[in-house]
Amino acid sequence: MWFDEIMDDCKQGLEVVSKNKGVFIPILIQAAINMALFIFVFVGSVIFFIRHGRDLETIFNSPENLLSVALPIIFIGFILYLFFVVIGVMIEVGSVHLYKLAVEGIKPKVSYFFDGIKRYFLKVFGGTLLLHIIILILFIPGLVLFVLYSLTIGILTAGWGITLLGILIGVYFNAWTVAVVVDDMGPLKAIITSMKFGMRYFWGLFVLTLAGIMISQYMGAAFGALVNIVGGWFISGAILAYFKLVILIIYKRKREELVYK
């Protein structure tokens, strides 16, 4: 039964992380960076509106003034986007490389993390940009469909619709970086392989993705608002990292029949 296999993979994942707790360090560092940048952007925005709030009416009434403000904001937003993508890709490829070695019985080291970045950064960075471009192209029709869904059958269940969409995206795309690292694939081939992986083992990956999302959300909020604000980033990151490792275990077990058939 596929469910029994998934449970065995989850058990193996627990054994791996219990022996190699260092695999969580990059994810925790990323959570700290994200939290610090969020605080920086939030505080910076508050200070900006406090200082220039009275000038906003003048700015919005003048196209020239509006353009002079909009262009720097767009530029800063683009720089922040690239920064987050670069940091995210570095953490992703380095972490997946550590997961791979840990599953093979090799103790994680800092040098292994950076070795993963050197080998796979450009491939995963290119694939990430490709996926973001696709998402940008599909954003407007997707937004229209979501609004129609929310105003009709989704009036009471729009939140679950978003959750379901996130799960489906995870099922079909969670394994593409794993494919890059484990099989040294190019980004496009890895994305296609991840989609095939999701179609062939849909229910197992659906259960894993659902569990990862629900447990991370629950654990992040289970200890109250203060703990959630301070520690939610770290708790959710560690849980999602564990499920990523389990997906890698499944992929390594199924990769031959997936890649060569």
Q: What is the pLDDT of residues 148-165, one digit of tens each?
A: 666 665 555 556 667 777
Residue ranges of domains in the chain: 2-256
Instruction: Quote the DSSP letter at residue 108.
Output: P
Contact 191, 130 (CB under 8 A): yes
- pLDDT: is 168 or 119 the higher one? 119
SS (HEC) of 109-168? CHHHHHHHHHHHHHHHHHHHHHHHHHHHHHHHHHHHHHHHHHHCCCCCCHHHHHHHHHHH
**For the chain, what percent of residues have pLDDT higher than 70?**
77
On the question of pLDDT at 125 being above 90, the answer is yes
Name, in order, each residue with C-beta under 8 angstroms of 97's C-beta and a sequence gap of 6 or more. Answer: 112, 113, 115, 116, 117, 119, 120, 181
Query: To the nearest whole number, what is the mean pLDDT of the chain?
Result: 81
